[in-house]
Amino acid sequence: MSNNNGQSSNEKEVFDSKSYLDMELLRFTTAGSVDDGKSTLIGRLLYDSKSIFQDQMDAIQESSKRRGDENLNLALLTDGLKSEREQGITIDVAYRYFSTPRRKFIIADTPGHIQYTRNMVTGASTANLAILLVDARKGVIEQTRRHALIASLLGIPHVVICINKMDLVDYKKEAFQKVVKEFEEFSTRINIKDVRYIPISALFGDNVVDRSSKTSWYEGPTLMYLLETIHISNDNNHIDGRFPVQHVIRPHSDDYHDYRGYAGRVAGGVFKKGDKVVALPSGFTTTVKSVELDGEQLEEAFSPMSVTITLEDDLDIGRGDMLAKVNNVPKQEQDLDAMICWMDDKKPLQLKGKYAIRHTTKEARCIIQEIVYKMDINTLHKLEDDNNIGLNDIGRIRLRTTSPLLFDPYSKNRQTGSFVLIDEATNITVGAGMLIK
């Protein structure tokens, strides 16, 4: 935990299991070009926040000595696989978990290589925040723009530009301001709501957890303090009530002879006892009888809570259906426009190709009606004459589903506006999509 000056004050906090369970969870992703220091930054966060076990610490110290590193090589904390260490690169999405007395965190560490765009899409799809690392010497490069565009497309609410390796530019304010100006000029062309800039040295820990005396000109927070305090409770849609039904609970016991509960995760809005709701796609209306979690009744449930809802009326509702508030329902369409990131390394997106589609808890089949354009990640140009959407490419498509989807535009609700395409022959996820209309 950090105090108002960004300094560590863990020893002053009292930790108990109940407060831990009630703590807010922040999911964030890290991305950057090769050798921008992502692994070192994550290692530094874990190290300086005292989230490393002693046996891990001993192993890292031993490995650092064996490799001849001058300093403790914190990158070894995340480059955990032997093959990764030997190549000196991180090659997949690695999820890391840690906590401070203020918050719990899940980190999705994604590769910097251009051929792993799909990994960033996977890691960032549920993130509240994205950390984009920029080498203070190199400034904003192609990979920075690519990662920023993906963060924009995925609707990540908060983006932190960590200008790393400030130690290699003598912690000069001018070097920091140069990168800030470069990114600001680019970001005007994409949609990112909240951008923060922090000068850091992941290697030496400057402004990561503890404030650096070497950047006296910087008056903002440290990275850890920002992660602990950034406001995320309004990132989810708490207005439009959406409850995709995942499972129907029928105990068939004497104690619960007539019990029928609908289990799922709230995808938007707030649900409580007495609410008037409509079951979709049937259109029948009813009233919420109870909202339950682990056998206990709750006052209310909101995104992203997983709960069971019971209704006053016995309706024919199953997996793939959705409960919504009366007079506030999602769109219900078979013909859909979407942005797609292609993930299949075997074959590209097929025009008129047929795929399985999974959206919230619903499964259907679809056909690709039209490839509208492919996007040039570097220039943001729309290539309308290029219909070849292969691995890591992003483009706009039109598709038709065998049954209507209950959705909101992705810009309005990330949970009801996203989907994946499945190759039915191999059962491999080949594309991740964001619904536009």
Query: Looking at residue 224, which CATH number applies to its domain?
Result: 3.40.50.300
Answer yes or no: do 180 and 221 share one domain: yes
**Do 176 and 314 share a structural domain?**
no
- Nearest alpha carbon to residue 69 among 33, 43, 32: 43
364: domain CATH number is 2.40.30.10
Domain assignment present for residue 237? The answer is no
Q: State residue 14's pLDDT score.
A: 33
Do 396 and 252 belong to one domain? no
What is the count of structural domains for the chain? 3
- Amino acid identity, position 1: M
**355 and 284 in a common domain:** no
**What does the alpha-carbon distance between residue 163 and residue 200 come to, in Å, rounded to a whole number?**
6
User: What integer pLDDT is reported at residue 7 of this predicted model?
Assistant: 41
- The verdict on 51 and 170 lying in the same domain is yes
Per the CB < 8 A criterion, the answer to whether 7 and 101 are in contact is no
CA distance 73 to 271: 48
Task: Tell whether 374 is covered by a domain.
Answer: yes
296 occurs within a structural domain: yes
Amino acid code (one letter) for 361: T
Residue 54: per-residue pLDDT = 63
Give the per-residue pLDDT at 191.
83
Domain presence at residue 5: no
Domain boundary among 325, 356, 386: 325
User: What is the domain extent for residue 304?
Assistant: 242-325
CB neighbourhood size of 282 (10 A): 11
C-alpha dist (Å) from residue 374 to 348, 349, 378, 396: 12, 11, 12, 6
- What was the pLDDT predicted at 307? 97
Q: CA nearest 331: which of 244, 236, 417?
A: 417
Amino acid at 326: V
pLDDT of residue 100: 87
Does some domain include residue 222?
Answer: yes
* Shared-domain flag, residues 321 and 335: no
Question: Within this chain, do residues 204 and 258 fall inside the same structural domain, yes or no?
Answer: no
Q: Write out the chain in H/E/C secondary structure.
A: CECCCCCECHHHCCCCHHHHHHCEEEEEEEEECCCCCHHHHHHHHHHHCCCCCHHHHHHHHHHHHHHCCCCCCHHHHCCCCHHHHHHCCCCCCEEEEEECCCEEEEEEECCCCHHHHHHHHHHHCCCCEEEEEEECCCCCCHHHHHHHHHHHHCCCCEEEEEEECHHHHCCCHHHHHHHHHHHHHHHCCCCCCEEEEEECECCCCECCCECCHHHCCCCCCCHHHHHHHCCCCCCCCCCCCEEECCEEECCCCCCCCCCCEEEEECCECEECCCCEEEEECCCEEEEEEEEEECCEECCCEECCCEEEEEECCCCCCCCCCEEEECCECCEEEEEEEEEEEECCCCCCCCCCCEEEEEECCEEEEEEEEEEEEEECCCCCCEECCCCCCCCCCEEEEEEEEEEEEEECCCCCCCCCCEEEEEECCCCEEEEEEEECC
Q: Is residue 234 part of a domain?
A: no
99 domain residue, yes or no? yes
Note whether residue 235 is domain-resident: no
Greatest CA separation for the chain? 74
Q: 402 and 301, same structural domain?
A: no
> What is the spatial distance between Cα 45 and Cα 209, in angstroms, rounded to a whole number?
7
The pTM of the full predicted model, rounded to 2 decimals, is 0.79
Q: Where does a domain end: 306, 325, 344?
A: 325
Closest CA to 127 of 321, 418, 325: 418
Q: Which of 206, 229, 252 is the last residue of a domain?
A: 229
204 and 100 housed in the same domain: yes
* One domain, residues 135 and 251: no
Q: Taking the CB of residue 347, how many other CB atoms lie within 10 A of it?
A: 12
Q: Are residues 300 and 259 in the same domain?
A: yes
pLDDT in tens, the chain (437 residues): 334 444 433 333 333 333 334 568 899 988 887 777 777 888 888 877 776 656 666 666 676 667 666 666 666 555 543 344 344 444 445 677 888 888 999 888 766 555 556 666 766 677 899 999 999 999 998 888 888 888 888 889 999 999 999 999 999 999 999 999 999 998 888 888 899 999 999 989 999 999 999 999 999 999 999 999 999 888 888 899 999 999 999 887 777 777 899 999 999 999 999 999 999 999 999 999 999 998 899 999 998 899 999 999 999 999 999 999 999 999 999 999 999 999 898 899 999 999 999 999 999 999 999 999 998 877 778 999 998 999 888 999 999 999 999 999 999 999 999 999 999 999 999 999 999 97
Q: What is the pLDDT of residue 79?
A: 54
Separation of first and last alpha carbons in the chain: 42
Please state, in angstroms and rounded to a whole number, the distance separating the CA atoms of residues 46 and 24: 18
**Are 169 and 72 within one domain?**
yes
